[in-house]
Every structure is written in structure tokens, then in C-alpha cells.
Amino acid sequence: MLSLWVTPPDVGSGAVHAALLVDSAVLLLEQEIRDGSERYQGLQELFPAAARMQRAAADLCGVRADAPDQRPWLRHTAWTSDEAPLARAPTSGPESGSAVDDYSFVRVAGDGVHEIPVGPVHAGIIEPGHFRFSVVGEKVLRLEERLGYVHKGVERRFTELDPLEGHRLAARICGDSTVAYSWAYCQALEALAGLQVPVRATWLRGICLEVERLQNHLGDLGALGNDAGFAFGLAQFSRLKEELLRVTESVFGQRYLMDVVVPGGVAIDPSADVIARLSSVLRDIAARVRLLRDIYDDHSGIRDRFAGAGVVTPELARQLGLTGLAGRASLQLRDLRADAPWSPYHALTPTPCIRREGDVAARVAVRFDEVAESSRLTRAFLSDLPDGPVTAPLALPREPRLAIGLIEGWRGPVLVALEITAAGRIRRCHVHDPSWQNWPALEHAIISNIVPDFPLINKSFNLSYSGHDL
């Protein structure tokens, strides 16, 4: 399952949409909704990940699913339960909600069981999320997450924008996946317009996506070492990441590649000599990552912390629909770049990096494998970069339409569903981060582990708060 969202029935008809990935094609299911009070059949029994998406849709659009869990998900106290920001403008200000957020967590009873509430304000500078642990001693019996603290009303903001401007907002949804988001948005837009993007532009986009993957993997590998108390790893990987960021800036004019992908192509056409420099830096980084991998693999303390921590078995991963990088560490053979290649991945297809153990060590190993694979792939893109224009003019059709953009970002598949009106405005733009599928899996991964291992397990997933809360 890829995503589930609702178009509220404000003007004309609304619908519940569910996007499923069947083999290498996207299957889009749609059920019409005429009236906001109408209920639809929930999908939580087939796809457990759907439960939270349905709760979020109820908060945003006021359309409820037939499901046992009717608690709010994205709504805290900023608006009341009978308001729906996407269906109609909020009638009152933020102070209308109740001052106290009385979210009912599931209680675990028993001898010696107690709760540890963590967050949303943490001791370090990280994004806000609340984690409620039920523990006996140091052993975790149950973890319940509470997210939505960084809800910013992105999907409503989309409806106020010109479709040709929307990629700028999409690029800012989740800073670490800016290429994936803006590309997914542009892909949807280009599908609406029926535009064929110039080949050179798609190759450059592919390079950007792989560079983004490398940046994030390098950062995560260092942070994972640090969370295991091995600060040497953090220092080394931070240095490599910084080198990559600097060369990225010299090629694309941006350290984090925001707004490089634009509707119809890319914003920057790098010259041949900076491309050669990127290629040589990538080769250098890949070689040094191999050395660091040996250090990580040989270090008994690191191995002891990584191996066997936070296991998601392949069976559980299949049940929960674990996706992206975390899925590949649990034998879920899914990588859209290889399964359903789009340009430029038709020409050069990456080999998916798969592990079956599903523990922190497996997620680290997949990252190491992908660093090697991505740097190989990027250098192949760079050496065969076709010539030609990098943008094409784009004109939107004057009829209501829906299109999907789907990109395998570093965390997993990023989906953008873009619906436009006959007047050429955005009616609904749903943005879906792979974290939706993987946050619930984290609750399972921590069970029977000890409390102090949670930060490490959490970091090995490294899920998005911002992309999830929207």
C-alpha cells in the first residue's frame, strides 16, 4: 500500500483515494463521497498502516472511516473535532480548541509496569514527537507514538498556490528529501500536462536524487555510530558529508539541492569540468567509506550494539507494509528504481540492496551498500550525461484531472497526488512520506528491547516528522 487520502466533498463530489503498488504498477482505488457525514470502509485490516492515514484524513477532511480507532491523529488542540481545515476554512482561531490535549494512550497494566513519557521536547535538538513507553525495569513492553506536533497545514497551502509554483512548497516539506519531493510533484504536474521532460534534465534529476541519498546515508551512518557512543564515526562521516555538500554546492549552487528540480526540467545546467570534479569526489568518498565500513564491522562494541537490536522480521515487515530502506533491511524486495524504473533509471538500473535480519545492523549494512551503489550509479550517470536542453515549456490542460508522482527517495517511495480544477488551480495536493508506513513498525521493533537502545533503533529508521505531520 502506498497511500490513502480523501478529497473533501466541498464543491462537487469528494472521494476517498487509496494508492496501491501492484507489481510494478500503481493501482488507484477511488470511492465517491457525497456528504461529509458519510462513512467509508476502513482498510486497516488489510493494511495496518492505513489506520493512521484514515485518522489523519478524518482530522483534515472530516470524513471518517469505519474503524475501531477514532482518536485524532494530526489534530492536537489547534482546531476542534467538528472543524476540518481542508473541507472548509476554520471558523475560529487557534484558541478555539480545548487547552489541554487529553489524548488517551493505551494503558498497560500489571505488576511492576510503569510508563515513561518522552518528548515532544527532547534533551537534544531534534524534531518533536511524543513516545509513551510502558516498561518493566528496563524492558519495553509497549511503545505508543504520538505525532503531529509539526503540522503546518501544507496541504491546505497547496490549494492556494498556482500549480506551477507548487514545486517550491513541495521542496520545503522535508528538507532531507527535497529532491524526491520536488521531483514527485513535478512528475505529477508533467503527467497532467502530458509533457516529455528532456533527457538531459531527467539524468540531472537522477544525479540529484542519488546525491541526496548519499548525503543522508553518510549523515545517518555517522549519527548511528555516535548513538552507540562511538564519536569517532560521527566525526569521520560528518567530514565526508561536508565534502559532498561542498562539491554539490559547486555543481548545483545549493548544498541541499532545494529548487533544483523545476516543472519541465531542472534549474541548473552544470558545465563539464564541475561534473568531472563531482565524479572524482564521489570516487574518493566511496573509497573512504569502504575503510570506515571495515572499522564499523570489526569494532566489537559497535557490533554488539547493532546486531540483534530492534528486529523487524520479514514476516512482520510484510504484514505492516514496511517500505523503503527499512523494508529492504527486512527482506522486502522493493526499490521503485529497479521495480518500476522511470527515466533515467531505465537506462541505468541500480541493484537493490537487500538484507534479511531486520535489525539495526541490517539497516546499517543496507546504507553502506547503497552508498557504494549510489556512488557507482551517479558516476555512471555523470560519464554518459546526454546533451540537449534542460527545460521544456509546460502548459496545463483546462480540465479537471488527477495525476500521481512517485519517486523512490532515500527513505522510501514519496508520493504526490495532484488534482487540478478546470480553471487550472490546485484542488487537492496530497503528499505522502514513506514514514507513514514505517512509524508503526518502529513500535513493534522496540518491543522486548531495553529502553536505552531506543534512540539507536529510532535512528536506524530515521523517519521524518515534518514529512509525516505536514
Partner 1 sequence: MTPLSAATQLLEVVSATLAAPIFLGWVNQCRAWLQNRTAPSVLQPYYGLRKLLHKDAVLAENASPLFRAAPYVVFGTMVVAAAIIPSMGTGLPMSAAADGIALVGLLATARVFLSLAAMDVGTAFGSLGARREMMVGFLAEPALLMILFVAALISGTTSLPLIAEGLSSHALGLYPSLAFTAVAFVLVLLAENARIPIDNPSTHLELTMIHEAMLLEYSARHLALMEWAAALKLFNYACIGFALFVPWGAGNEAAGPLGLLLAVPLLALKLIVAGAVLALIETLSAKLRVFRAPEFLATAFLLAVLGLLVHLLLGA
Binding site for partner 1 (CB under 8 A): 115-118, 122-125, 138, 225, 227-232, 234-236, 239, 299, 301-302, 304-305, 450-455
Q: Which amino acid is at 442?
A: L
Smallest gap from residue 455 Cβ to partner 1 (A): 4
* Chain centre to alpha carbon of residue 452: 26
Distance CA 131, CA 446 (A): 12
Task: Judge contact between 256 and 246, C-beta under 8 A.
Answer: no
Task: Judge contact between 277 and 247, C-beta under 8 A.
Answer: yes
Contacts for 127 with CB less than 8 Å, ≥ 6 apart: 150, 465, 466
- Which H/E stretch holds residue 442? helix 435-445
Smallest gap from residue 367 Cβ to partner 1 (A): 17
Smallest gap from residue 376 Cβ to partner 1 (A): 27
- Which H/E stretch holds residue 443? helix 435-445
The grid cell for 52 is 493512521
Nearest to 261, CA basis, from 212, 316, 331: 212
- Can you tell me whether residue 341 is helix, strand or coil? coil
Task: Judge contact between 151 and 470, C-beta under 8 A.
Answer: yes
- Can you tell me whether residue 76 is helix, strand or coil? coil
Nearer to partner 1, 8 or 225 (CB): 225
Smallest gap from residue 326 Cβ to partner 1 (A): 20
Q: Which amino acid is at 400?
A: P
Nearer to partner 1, 146 or 305 (CB): 305
Nearer to partner 1, 303 or 376 (CB): 303
Smallest gap from residue 445 Cβ to partner 1 (A): 15
Distance CA 66, CA 296 (A): 48
Nearer to partner 1, 408 or 453 (CB): 453
Smallest gap from residue 131 Cβ to partner 1 (A): 9
Nearer to partner 1, 244 or 353 (CB): 244
Nearer to partner 1, 103 or 342 (CB): 103
Nearer to partner 1, 435 or 449 (CB): 449
**Radius of gyration for the alpha carbons in the chain, expressed in angstroms and rounded:** 22
Distance CA 237, CA 239 (A): 5
Nearer to partner 1, 38 or 144 (CB): 144
Smallest gap from residue 229 Cβ to partner 1 (A): 3
H-state helical runs in 260-359: 272-298, 300-306, 314-320, 324-328, 336-339
Smallest gap from residue 101 Cβ to partner 1 (A): 18
Smallest gap from residue 285 Cβ to partner 1 (A): 16
Nearer to partner 1, 193 or 240 (CB): 240
Nearer to partner 1, 73 or 230 (CB): 230
Distance CA 391, CA 228 (A): 46
Surface-to-core class of residue 455, CB atoms within 10 Å of its CB (0-12 exposed, 13-18 middle, 19+ buried): middle
The grid cell for 87 is 473541507
Smallest gap from residue 122 Cβ to partner 1 (A): 7
- Which H/E stretch holds residue 208? helix 199-227
